[in-house]
Structure 1
């Protein structure tokens, strides 16, 4: 639990601090990382999480419903985040009041998403094999770093105070570790049954599917052939498969 929390906190913190240090970070600079992360996360979800969920638990219909629920819940979150969780850095300025509201809604939505990621990392054994934790944690970290970078690029345009920027970064960096702590406490406190944790895992798997597929679609909006993107995607998928075989 402690190691996971530290890794999640540091990855978000480093991504955000890099964005604050490099003031002219361009969306194109993180696209390759995003494609790799999306491919890795998608592959882990397909080759491990979903098969284990459907194989080891009898209530497959409800598992499918929660996966769908997580997929479309992520779509709702993107209404508030404008895709920052998969690397978008679009900034729209329409007055101070709109800027403050968009910053608050952006932080709230991303923290909810990060919190849910932390809760499932607290119980990798829910999907049968605790050795899956390493590859799952890697997938989360790989998309958290560019997400934090994009988040702080946006917020640095909305909040000019460096203290405010750092405070918001710390809040975001703490969201996933808090999710890990809460996730560990759910079972012993009797607040969440094993079946409940399974459904939560399925819900977040739906989140992962939405994020990873959106990265693929939006990395080539004109659907042009891109051999570099294909090679990076295959590399991410290959490493995900190999990591599952080795763990």
Structure 2
């Protein structure tokens, strides 16, 4: 377990959550292009690193668990209102009446799931650092959206900090737990691979949703958004040099 990676994810989550708490007005395009870039990078990491790993180990069974993970994410976003992909499906005028508990529950389950693959041992030596960076990048818009919704729900500043810090530690805790159990019990390491396949499915749902939904009307792709997506994919391609 590389603690530097976990510190990076923790710091990225806190930094993302602090943006709406400290910046009075955030330009709408900032979120759009940040989402497009991070979603594309995460998508590239999945395709180039994680998919080959799980299909090599699980064969056709990998596809079954990836599909299950995809639709598990569909279910989870009914609780979290889509905040995993950096925006919410809730109408703005109703955000002060939202039920905070199911929202936080859905998002926390997702955060725990995405931490589990970080504790897995990959044959591809570049898979783990690439995934760590991808998750850290994903955490910034995710935490930004969470805290924006909490602020619209008129949470006190002390409560905002408690929510942010609690959310920030979920993914590192999941990574530590998965790594510890995997090192201690060989059977756990084996079944972690199935969980990784589930999380791949969830990540595919999130990243592809970002491409078409993030901050656009009628799901169009603007020129600048295409550039942001291309930059994210290019960065993902560059991770191959570490193999």
* Normalised TM-score (structure 2): 0.90
Name structure 1 gaps, 5 residues minimum: none
> Partners of 2:24 and 2:109 in 1: how far apart?
27
> Partners of 2:183 and 2:205 in 1: how far apart?
31
Deviation at 1:83, TM superposition (A): 1.4
Name structure 2 gaps, 5 residues minimum: none
Deviation at 1:194, TM superposition (A): 3.1
The 1:5/1:192 distance shift into structure 2, 3 A limit, reads: farther
Q: Which whole-Å deviations, capped at 9, do the CAs of 1:6-53 have from their partners, x for residues lacking one?
A: 111111111111111124335432110100111111111112211222
Map of 1:203-242 to 2, 5 A cutoff? 203-219=198-214, 220-242=216-238
Q: Please say if 1:200 is aligned against 2:195.
A: yes
Contact map agreement 1:27 1:87 (CA 8 A) in 2: no
Instruction: Give structure 1 regions of 4+ aligned residues with deviation exceeding 6 angstroms.
Output: none
Contact map agreement 1:9 1:173 (CA 8 A) in 2: yes
Map of 1:102-141 to 2, 5 A cutoff? 102-125=99-122, 128-141=123-136
Map of 1:87-166 to 2, 5 A cutoff? 87-89=86-88, 90=90, 92=92, 98-99=97-98, 102-125=99-122, 128-166=123-161
> Partners of 1:124 and 1:239 in 2: how far apart?
23
- The aligned counterpart of 2:76 is 77
Secondary structure in 2 matching 1:129: coil
- The aligned counterpart of 1:14 is 15
> Partners of 2:45 and 2:87 in 1: how far apart?
23
> Partners of 1:69 and 1:134 in 2: how far apart?
25
The 1:192/1:17 distance shift into structure 2, 3 A limit, reads: farther
> Partners of 1:113 and 1:225 in 2: how far apart?
27
Q: Between Structure 1 and Structure 2, how many residues are aligned?
A: 240
Contact map agreement 2:95 2:152 (CA 8 A) in 1: no
* Normalised TM-score (structure 1): 0.89
